[in-house]
Amino acid sequence: MNVLTFTYLWPNQMQPLHGLFVRERMKALAKLCPVKVVAPVPWFIPVKWFGQQYYGYTQVPRYEKQDLLEVFHPRYLVLPKILKWSDGWLMFASLRQGIKRLRQEFPFDLIDAHWAYPDGYAVSRIARELAVPYTVTVRGNDITVFARERFRRVFIRRTLMGAQRVICVARSLQELVIALGIPPEKTVVIENGVDPQKFQRIPQDEARRQLQLPQDAQIILSVGHLCERKGFHLLIEAVRILHAEREQVPALKFLIVGGEASWDAYHDALVQQIAEHKLHDLVSLVGPKAPEELKYWYSAADVFCLASSREGCPNVVLESLACGTPVVATAVSGTPDILSSPELGILVERNVASIRRGIVDALKRTWDHQHIVEHARKQYSWEKTAEKTYAIFERICHA
């Protein structure tokens, strides 16, 4: 069984941290069957006049090998910021002939699409022309945001109806997919995994020495792209209030790991919030970090916080647990399913008061870090995710 994975959620030279969770699943699947990846990028004229973001896409190589995976980066036409409902058709029209040529070299039996729109829609059209089955993995915004829009909702529903299976990374997404009218028997939940070698507990004092962090502080950590829905501004305010209430040591430190989105002014808003309240000694924006470094940040922290308004299956929560660090997180999307026990973390509402209470409770509690690690390793791994995915693909191809 040959599988072609199709997704723009894939790391490349311009976006090295983009879609790492998709690559991890496909790396594990590639140990079970042949897999090749088509990870399209937008086409732009290779000049810097339009901005660094657009120029960066032109520098992505059209072919590369990432570990054992062959990855193709064909170009597709886009209309930036306008007529976004047309992206699916433009992706299909731009790539259909290239996919047909690729099939002559790699006779794939199934197309595995990630993200319902535009990727899933383009795959649905290509699969129909090639008479091959396809699956779609829905991961978050494609269902929680795009499916609410008038035109994209029509395309998404049509795409999912035509798929042999709709793989949902969280039970909450499965419920939304079924609410679109997709038959429940077409849907399945397969959560993301975590790499226990990449994310493992380091003794806290050692992790802090490595990062040059104070040994006597209580450290709160959050990780993610700097965008409003991640709720970093709420966390900063909650920590500010908590800090003002405390008169005794240990001192508090709040660390935010993550890069800013080039189209979003949220980073500047956070910088302004920190400056206005004179929180430079309390809050640090430490920037993006490579995945292999994150275990030190998770292990150095006393508690990990996530204040998102929506998620799919948040990998940062899985990574924190794999490093033995308890979690305080908003009870949205797939997060309650992950924090299924009070021994793993605390679920809160998405407001400052609830978040502050959650952090206070977490810092007071004595946590069994080894139990948290063992739970994450037992419940979540990319190997398990790949095995479940492979079983679905095999049933489809041999039906």
User: Side-chain half-sphere of 41: how many Cα atoms within 13 Å?
Assistant: 23
Query: What pLDDT score does 46 carry?
Result: 55
Provide, rounded to the nearest whole percent, the portion of the chain with pLDDT above 90: 81
* Integer angstrom CA distances of residue 68 from 35, 36, 112, 276, 307: 9, 9, 18, 49, 36
**367 and 339 together in one domain:** yes
d(CA 94, CA 282): 49
Question: Quick check: 208 pLDDT over 60?
Answer: yes
**14 and 159 together in one domain:** yes
Phi, psi torsion values for 137, nearest 5 degrees: -100, 120
**169 and 253 together in one domain:** no
**216 and 349 together in one domain:** yes
d(CA 312, CA 184): 19
**274 and 156 together in one domain:** no
**118 and 255 together in one domain:** no
Higher pLDDT pick, 113 / 248: 113
Q: What is the mean pLDDT of residues 216-241?
A: 96
57 in any annotated domain: yes
**180 and 313 together in one domain:** no
d(CA 197, CA 289): 17
**152 and 73 together in one domain:** yes
24 in any annotated domain: yes
Quick check: bond before 250 cis, omega within 30? Answer: yes
Pick from 129, 48, 142: nearest CA to 88: 142
Of 58-62, 104-108, 254-258, give the lowest mean pLDDT range. 58-62
Domain count, the chain: 2
pTM: 0.91
pLDDT 10s digits, 341-377: 999 999 999 999 999 999 999 999 999 999 999 999 9
- Crossing angle of the two packed helices 121-130 and 87-105, in degrees rounded to 10: 40
d(CA 83, CA 80): 8
SS3 135: strand
**374 and 388 together in one domain:** no
Q: Where are the alpha helices (DSSP H) in 107-198?
A: 121-130, 141-144, 150-162, 171-179
Domain housing 315: 204-379
**100 and 23 together in one domain:** yes
Question: Quick check: 79 pLDDT over 80?
Answer: no
